[in-house]
Structure 1
Amino acid sequence: MGAVDLNKAYLYKFQRLAAWSGFLVMAVQGVCFFMLAKVQPPIDPEWSAIQVQDWMIDNRTGILWSMVICSFIIPLEYLFVVTTSWQMRRIERGWGVLTMTQVLTGVVAPVGFLYPMFMLSAAALRVEERSPELIQLMTDVFYYSYVGFAFVFCVQVIVLGIATLIDSRRNPVFPRWFAYVNFFLAVVLAPGAFIYLFTSGPLAWNGLFAFWLPCLAYFVWKVATPLLLLKAVTQEEAEADNAEKAAPVLI
């Protein structure tokens, strides 16, 4: 195997590993946020400062350990983002506007997970030494930045959906139905922008439209996308092999 063949082999291998990293990040984050830190489902926005402080005291260890675990795992989301962008690049046949928008919005995604946890971990570190009002304020900032930040993700999935629809290849990179999955996710994420106005009801940070529907839709998307990326990488590898076999041999 020559150097070029070796590089191609690693290209496809790394893309497959990167696609699987999407599953890993979702699984680990889910365990940390739902079971360890217990920040999901979100607490009631109308809790008193004392209730918030008592909740954080009970979950202090889980919050801090979640921050440690997520510090190692969530950066792997960058691999997933880059592989998604690489496959979009095949559709645009270069680094076009849609692909570059996906790259830039995707780069922000891990920050949207980690930065809110930085704030919550800072509150949890000395939770019994700080006033309940300060703990409540830092918890508010956590949920505002974690749930509300999801709105930025709308742009990322919209451009991915558009790229899927405009793919004119005989064998498209992504199936057409995937475009509508992305558009649906963008729609259900949009209500997250309204959590700053409500402390109860479906548009509060623990509400049906601001949290539960987006959470379910994101789960579906985060399962479907890595599977489709794995299929797209296999397709790319097959196309490269066919092109190499069809190339004229120079004697």
Structure 2
Amino acid sequence: MRRDLYLRLERVSAWCGVVLLVGFVAAFGAGHLLTPVDPQMSPADVVTFLHDHRTGILWCTVIMVLAVPFEYPYVVVTSLQLKRVEGGWGLLSMIQLTTGVVAPLGFFFPLAILSAAAFRPEIHSPDVLAALTDTFNLMLVGNACIFVLQVWSIGYAAFIDHREKQVFPKWYGWLSIVLGVLLVPGAFVFVVHSGPFAWNGVLANTIPSLTYFVWKIATPYVLLKAIRSEEQELAGLPEARPTTV
């Protein structure tokens, strides 16, 4: 592949992170899901919520189905930049790649379950709809901590990169480490119904969500700067030529 085309594809992949962020905000805003429901909400209130926001929830899932594929080039280009730090495919770049590939499922599966509840709420009992809504919230918030290693792998790479112009700056490394720590409280949503560790709590939801939002803005920014530095490094190397037989 020509060098200029390769770098252009990397930049497009980095911008996919912006597409994802816009898609997330648009989808969850349309579904009235930016603020989670109360875990202690009664089944009757759940039914009312699903009826009132049925169209928005279904369109939320549609938007996410369209936006989620952009996660893959975004994850791959991140691992390609980690590969520069490691000098080849290594533990950090592979951890980020494998966990990042799974990440989109953490959004789609919970939303598919909530959409199943909102699709035809009139044919299900309130208890069934409450159970499906519980499953959505537990999966969405509780499974987030699975991706702690993904963000920590990026953060650690920022600390071990000793080149003069780092691929990932140290401030971004600290941001990734902090996000990983803040994702851990999400694991406790399965055992509490109220308070800071509930799925709508400050520690399990609010603070991690805000930090994730900042991280999603910062990542495309540092990726584009990393690709620019990669272009400068490659400028001093001869262009690879295809071989002929």
Partner of 2:13: 18
Q: Matches of 2:197 and 2:214 in 1, distance apart? A: 21
- Give how far 1:104 is off: 0.5
Q: Does 1:61 align with 2:61?
A: no
After TM superposition, the structure 1 = structure 2 runs for residues 169-184 of structure 1, keeping only pairs within 5 Å, are 169-184=163-178
Structure 1 match to 2:234:
240
Counterpart residue number, 1:192? 186
State the match for 2:223 in structure 1: 229
Distance 2:193 2:18 in 1: 32
Q: Does 1:168 align with 2:162?
A: yes
Name the counterpart of 2:243.
none
Q: Which residue of structure 1 lines up, in the alignment, with residue 209 of structure 2?
A: 215
Structure 1 SS opposite 2:53: helix
Identify the residue that residue 100 of structure 1 maps to in structure 2.
94
Residues 197-228 of structure 1 show CA distances to partners (whole Å, capped at 9, x for unaligned) of: 11111110000001100011001111111000
Task: Please say if 1:73 is aligned against 2:67.
Answer: yes
Instruction: List aligned pairs for 1:113-124, cutoff 5 A.
Output: 113-124=107-118
> What is the CA deviation profile of residues 160-208 of structure 1, one whole-angstrom value per residue up to 9, with x for unaligned ones?
1111111122221011111111111011111000111111111100000
Letter in 2 for 1:84: T
The equivalent position to 1:87 in structure 2, one of 78, 81, 88, is: 81
**CA–CA distance in 1 between the matches of 2:107 and 2:88?**
29
One-letter amino acid matched to 1:215: S
> Given residue 218 of structure 2, which amino acid in structure 1 is its aligned partner?
A
What amino acid is aligned across from residue 150 of structure 1 in structure 2? A
Q: Which residue of 2 aligns with 1:50?
A: 44
Deviation per CA, 1:6-42: give whole Å up to 9, x if none.
x211111111111111111111111211x21112210
- CA distance in 2 between counterparts of 1:40 and 1:134 reads 23
CA–CA distance in structure 2, aligned partners of residues 55 and 207 of structure 1? 19
Q: Secondary structure at the match of 1:243?
A: coil
- TM-score (norm. length: structure 2): 0.95
Root-mean-square deviation over aligned CA pairs: 1.1
2:24 to 16, 29, 34: 29
In 2: Cα distance, 1:77 partner to 1:230 partner: 16
Deviations 1:52-110 (A, max 9, x none): 01101111111111111211111101111001000000000111011100000000111
Letter of the 1:224 counterpart: A
- Give the whole-Å Cα distance in 1 for the aligned partners of 2:61 and 2:209: 20
Structure 1 letter corresponding to 2:156:
I
Paired position in structure 2 for 1:126: 120
In the TM superposition, structure 1's runs of 4+ consecutive aligned residues that sit over 4 Å from their partners are: none
Q: Does 1:109 align with 2:103?
A: yes
CA distance in 1, matches of 2:225, 2:115: 39
Cα distance in structure 1, aligned partners of 2:123 and 2:40: 23
Contact 2:157 2:168 in 1 (8 A): no
Percent identity between matched residues is 43
Cα contact 2:113–2:136 (8 A) shared by 1: yes
Q: Which residue in the other structure is 2:144 paired with?
A: 150
- Check the 8 A contact 2:79/2:97 in 1, yes or no: yes
Secondary structure at the aligned position of 1:244 is classed as coil
CA distance in 2, matches of 1:65, 1:173: 38
Question: Residue 50 of structure 1: CA displacement?
Answer: 0.6
